Chains A and B, each alone.
Chain A
Amino acid sequence: MTNKDRREWMGLLARSAPDSLAALIGPLPQHSFARAPEIGAVMVRGRAGGTGAPFNLGEMSVTRCTIQLADGTVGHAWVQGRDKAHATRAAIVDALMQGATADEVRGRVLVPLAEVAARRAATRRAKAAATKVEFFTMVRGED
Chain B
Amino acid sequence: MYVAVKGGERAIENAHAWLAEERRGDPTVSELSIAQIREQMTLAVNRVMAEGSLYDPDLAALAIKQARGDLIEAIFLIRAYRTTLPRLAGSNPVDTGAMVVSRRVSATFKDAPGGQILGPTFDYTHRLLDFALMAEGEAPPAAPTAPADPVAVPHILGFLDRDGLIEAATPSDLTPPDLTREPLELPADRALRLQSLTRGDEGFVLGLAYSTQRGYARNHAFVGELRIGTVAVEVDIPELGFAVEIGEIELTECETVNQFKGSKTEPAQFTRGYGLTFGQTERKAISMALVDRALRWRELGEDFTGAPAQDEEFVLSHCDNIQATGFLEHIKLPHYVDFQAELELIRSVRAAAFSQMEAAE
Verify if A50 is at the interface (C-beta below 8 Å from B): yes
14 cross-chain CB contacts under 8 A = A6-B240, A11-B245, A15-B248, A41-B86, A43-B91, A51-B170, A51-B171, A52-B170, A53-B174, A55-B195, A59-B87, A60-B56, A76-B240, A133-B118
Known A40-B85, A44-B55, A62-B246; judge A131-B194 contact (CB<8 A).
no
Docked-complex contact A7 and B244, CB < 8 angstroms: yes
Bound form: Cα–Cα A58–B250 in Å: 13
Question: Which residue of chain B is the closest to A132 with respect to CB atoms?
Answer: B115
Known: A56-B178, A129-B145, A130-B144. A45 touches B90 (CB 8 A): yes
Q: Does any Cβ of A come within 8 Å of B352's Cβ?
A: no
Interface pair A53/B247, CB less than 8 Å apart:
no
Identify the A interface with B (CB < 8 A): 3, 6-7, 10-11, 14-15, 38-62, 64, 66, 76, 78-82, 121-133, 135
Within 8 A of A (CB), among B238-277: 239-249, 251, 253, 255, 272, 274, 276
Contact A11 to B56, CB < 8 A, known contacts A43-B90, A55-B195, A59-B82: no
- Given known contacts A14-B245, A38-B86, A121-B100, A49 and B169 CB-to-CB distance under 8 angstroms: yes
If the complex has contacts A125-B148, A127-B102, A128-B101, are A41 and B242 also in contact, measured as CB distance less than 8 A?
no
Q: 7 other contacts beyond A14-B247, A51-B169, A56-B178, with CB at 8 A cut-off?
A: A45-B90, A57-B198, A62-B88, A66-B239, A78-B88, A78-B246, A80-B249
The distance from the CB of B243 to the nearest CB of chain A, in whole angstroms, is 7
Residues of B within 8 A of A51 (CB): 97, 155, 169-171
Looking at B127-135, B210-218, B229-237, B312-320, the stretch in contact with chain A turns out to be: B229-237
Residue from A40, A58, A80, A121 within 8 A of B278 (CB atoms)? A58
- For the complex of A and B, list the 5 residue pairs with the smallest distance between their C-beta atoms, beginning with the closest: A80-B247, A49-B169, A11-B245, A126-B145, A52-B169
Chain A residue nearest to B167 (CB atoms) is A49
B80 within 8 A of A: no
Interface size on B, residues (CB 8 A): 85
- Residues on A with C-beta less than 8 A from B247 are 14-15, 60, 62, 79-81
Contact A41 B117 (CB under 8 A): no
User: A40-B85, A58-B199, A60-B56 known; A48 and B246 CB under 8 Å?
Assistant: no
Tell whether A40 pairs with B87 under 8 Å between CB atoms, given A48-B169, A129-B145: yes
User: What does the 1/0 interface line of B344-357 toward A look like (CB < 8 Å)?
Assistant: 00000000000000
Residues of A within 8 A of B244 (CB): 7, 10-11, 14, 78
Interface residues of B in 73-103 (CB under 8 A from A): 82, 85-94, 96-97, 100-103
Q: How far is the CA of A122 from the CA of B147 in the complex (A)?
A: 9
B71 within 8 Å of A (CB atoms): no
A6 to B243, CA, bound (A): 10
Contact between B91 and A10, CB atoms less than 8 A apart:
no
User: B residues within 8 A CB of A15?
Assistant: 232, 245, 247-248
- Complex CA gap A81/B49 in Å reads 13
Using Cβ atoms and an 8 Å threshold, which residues of chain A touch B146? 126, 129-130, 132
| Candidates A11, A59, A64, A126; contact of B53 at CB < 8 Å | A59
The reply to whether the CB of B119 lies closer than 8 angstroms to some CB of chain A is: yes
- How far apart are the CA atoms of A49 and B175 in the complex, in Å? 16
Q: Are B169 and A50 in contact (CB under 8 A)?
A: yes
Residues of A within 8 Å of B278, CB to CB, are 57-58
CA distance A45 to B249 in the complex (A): 12
Contact A14 B239 (CB under 8 A): no
The residue from A45, A61, A79, A125 contacting B94, defined by CB atoms under 8 A apart: A45
Distance in Å from the Cβ of A135 to the closest Cβ of chain B?
Answer: 6
Contacts of A6 in B (CB 8 A): 240
Contacts of B118 in A (CB 8 A): 131-133
Residue in chain B with minimal CB distance to A125: B148
| Per-residue contact bits, chain B 99-127, to A (CB 8 Å; 1 contact, 0 not) | 01111100000110001111110000000
Cα–Cα, bound, A122→B150 (Å): 10
Distance to closest chain B CB from A2 (angstroms):
10
Contact A80 B246 (CB under 8 A): yes
Query: Measured between alpha carbons, how far is A80 from B198 in the docked complex, in Å?
Result: 21
Question: A54: which B residues are within 8 A, CB to CB?
Answer: 93, 172-176, 191
The answer to whether B145 touches A123 (Cβ under 8 A) is: yes
B85 touching A59 by the CB < 8 A rule?
yes
